Amino acid sequence: MSGAAVLSDRPRRAFCAMLRTKNGYFRSSMGERLIDADSSTACYNCLMTQRPYGPDGMPANADYCGPQRSCFKPET
């Protein structure tokens, strides 16, 4: 099974459109960003602050950047 197949088999999570990591700039064949929330080596940044934390001062991270944050921007 390829890495892309493994990622596409996971339940879809709502990540902020401003969340980026090196793989976050690429998309799967289905159009979804390739963010592996289980990666232990990913370094995340927020496009709003250009820092590893969001405008609310909390970490830019796949575990934290979701709809519960006031700065969350859904993907369109």
How many domains are contained in the chain?
1
Within a domain: residue 48?
A: yes
pTM: 0.70
More confident residue, 34 or 2: 34
Domain of residue 3, residue span: 1-66
Q: Which of 40, 24, 36, 29 is nearest to 75 (CA)?
A: 24
The confidence score (pLDDT) of residue 5 equals 46
Within a domain: residue 47?
A: yes
Within a domain: residue 58?
A: yes
Within a domain: residue 52?
A: yes
Within a domain: residue 51?
A: yes
pLDDT digits (tens, 9 = 90+) for 41-72: 888 999 999 999 999 999 999 889 999 999 99
Whether 21 shows a pLDDT value over 50: the answer reads yes
Q: Is 42 exposed, middle or buried (0-12, 13-18, 19+ CB in 10 A)?
A: middle
Within a domain: residue 75?
A: no
Within a domain: residue 73?
A: no
Within a domain: residue 36?
A: yes
Q: Which residues contact 46 (CB under 8 A, 6 or more apart)?
A: 16, 18, 19, 20, 52, 53, 54, 55, 60, 65, 71
